[in-house]
């Protein structure tokens, strides 16, 4: 799926409440050193934050479906790897769809990172489309957990959550260039 499609699906999942104006949260526009690249970002609305909490809860249900002994508060990036692999192998007719699993596990990966690193979720619009990203307070670097999971799902990759989490922690600390 394209970045735009997953954003649309994720935002649809976040749409637990009517659309909220971002009038009080004016977009920040930045121009990169890359010629012609521009980015706008704004913080999440209350409805989007509520939707993120719902996706985070959905991720716990997904993990518990495939790893019933894991409690929600004990989910780690390694746990996400195991649950994702079990989901890929699941051939039952009531298997959760990728449209639910990919954004939910992407949000959980981001939330795990934010337990360790100070940062915030943003709605980002740039030359490539729109996405939900985390910007780290210390380094100012951004990561895109939902997009990252989507990309690896499209490539049929496995065992990537722990590696992504490590990269995100490096980005938080400003160790990535």
Q: Annotate 21-48 with b (16+ C-beta within 10 A) or e (fewer).
A: eeeeeeeeeeeeeeeeeebebbbbbebb
Q: pTM to 2 decimals? A: 0.82
pLDDT digit string, tens, across residues 93-126 = 999 999 999 999 999 999 999 999 999 999 998 8
Q: Assess contact for 151 and 164: CB atoms under 8 A.
A: no
**Helices assigned H by DSSP within 90-128:** 98-116
Other Cβ atoms less than 10 A from the Cβ of 55: the count is 23
Residue 161 placed within a domain: yes
Stretch among 31-35, 63-67, 168-172 having the lowest mean pLDDT: 31-35
Strands 38-43 and 28-31: antiparallel
pLDDT digit string, tens, across residues 66-90 = 999 999 999 999 999 999 999 999 9
Q: Assess contact for 172 and 136: CB atoms under 8 A.
A: yes
Q: What is the CATH number of the domain that holds 118?
A: 1.20.120.1090
Residue 57 placed within a domain: yes
**What would you report as the CA-atom Rg of the chain, rounded to the nearest whole angstrom?**
16
Residue 25 placed within a domain: no
Residue 147 placed within a domain: yes
At residue 128 the predicted structure's pLDDT band, cuts being 50, 70 and 90, is: confident
Q: Mean per-residue pLDDT for 157-174?
A: 96
Residue 33 placed within a domain: no
Residue 26 placed within a domain: no
Which domain does 43 fall in, by range?
3-17+39-172
At 7 the pLDDT is 56
Residue 164 placed within a domain: yes
Map 55-86 to HEC letters: HHHHHHHHHHHHCCCCCHHHCCHHHHHHHHHH
Greater confidence (23 vs 77) lies with: 77
50: Cβ contacts below 8 Å, ≥ 6 apart: 14, 16, 17
Stretch among 24-28, 36-40, 76-80, 130-134 having the lowest mean pLDDT: 24-28
The domain tally of the chain equals: 1
Residue 121 placed within a domain: yes
């Amino acid at each position: 799926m394209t970045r735009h499609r997953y954003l649309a699906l994720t935002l649809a999942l976040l749409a637990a409440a009517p659309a909220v104006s971002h009038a009080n949260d004016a977009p920040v526009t930045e121009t990169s050193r890359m010629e012609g690249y521009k980015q706008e970002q704004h913080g999440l609305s209350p409805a989007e934050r509520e939707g993120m909490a719902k996706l985070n809860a959905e991720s716990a249900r997904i993990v518990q479906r495939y790893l019933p002994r894991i409690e929600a508060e004990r989910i780690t990036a390694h746990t996400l790897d195991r649950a994702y692999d079990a989901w890929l192998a699941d051939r039952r007719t009531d298997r959760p769809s990728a449209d639910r699993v990919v954004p939910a596990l992407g949000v959980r990966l981001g939330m795990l990172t934010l337990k360790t690193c100070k940062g915030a979720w943003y709605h980002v619009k740039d030359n490539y489309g729109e996405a939900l990203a985390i910007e780290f307070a210390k380094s100012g670097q951004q990561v895109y957990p939902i997009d990252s999971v989507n990309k690896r799902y499209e490539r049929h990759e496995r065992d990537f959550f722990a590696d992504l989490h490590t990269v995100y922690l490096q980005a938080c600390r400003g160790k990535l260039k």
